[in-house]
Amino acid sequence: MSDAASAKAETGKTPITIKKYANRRLYNTATSSYVTLDDLAKMVKAGSEFVVHDAKTGEDLTRAVLTQIIVEEEGKGQNLLPISFLRQLISLYGDSMQFIVPRYLEQAMASFAGNQEQMRKSLQDAFGGLFPFGSLEEMGKQNLALFEKTMKMFSPFPGGTMPGMPERPASPPPAAAPASAPQAAGDDGTIKDLTQRLDQLQKKLEEMSKGEKQS
């Protein structure tokens, strides 16, 4: 199924056609205007479906352009992809497990999106308003610990490592906040609840992955 057909099947709407010319310029046929990668990134965030075709050959370039957007965002410092994840993903090209990866990642992102609002609220409850940590550095350590746990669900192998590769050393627990720092009531319970939800989501994804292997 082409990217255009896939987008229409998912949303029920005909996606906007973006034409890419030899000079690398992108033309939005819906607005009759030239656009940039930043414009396309904004369209994605707004939920607009589009496909990119070579203006001369008609070749579908949607995947390549979306990948280019990710590269541009990562280059700006918007680092969402851990180095370990990128290494694992690269190593799977040409591997016998390659055919599972796209569907696995789609399911992982769909599960993440479904829980995104609940996770955002939990994070806001934990970190918003009053800062329950003694300093920004301590808050950063807590955020990093939660982020790493969240990203484990993107690994196609249990434990976040590939077979034959040494497991990553466990991250040291975040330092305790200074005794003088005020603690907001219920923060520990909120963090524990969020961590448990992430663990449950990871287990669910691992079961889905096992089901794909057996089928």
The secondary structure element, H or E, covering residue 64 is: helix 62-75
Mean pLDDT, rounded, for 16-39: 95
Through-space distance between the first and last CA atoms of the chain, rounded to whole angstroms = 21
**Can you tell me the distance from the alpha carbon of 201 to that of 154, in angstroms, rounded to the nearest whole number?**
11
Domain boundaries, the chain: 3-75, 83-214
The secondary structure element, H or E, covering residue 14 is: none
Task: Read off the pTM.
Answer: 0.50
Beta bridge partners of 137: none
**Can you tell me the distance from the alpha carbon of 150 to that of 200, in angstroms, rounded to the nearest whole number?**
11
Residue 179 has pLDDT above 50, yes or no: no
**Can you tell me the distance from the alpha carbon of 79 to that of 73, in angstroms, rounded to the nearest whole number?**
8
Unique residue bearing structure tokens 């950063």: 140
> Model confidence over 78-124: pLDDT tens digits?
788 899 989 988 998 988 888 888 888 888 888 877 777 777 777 67
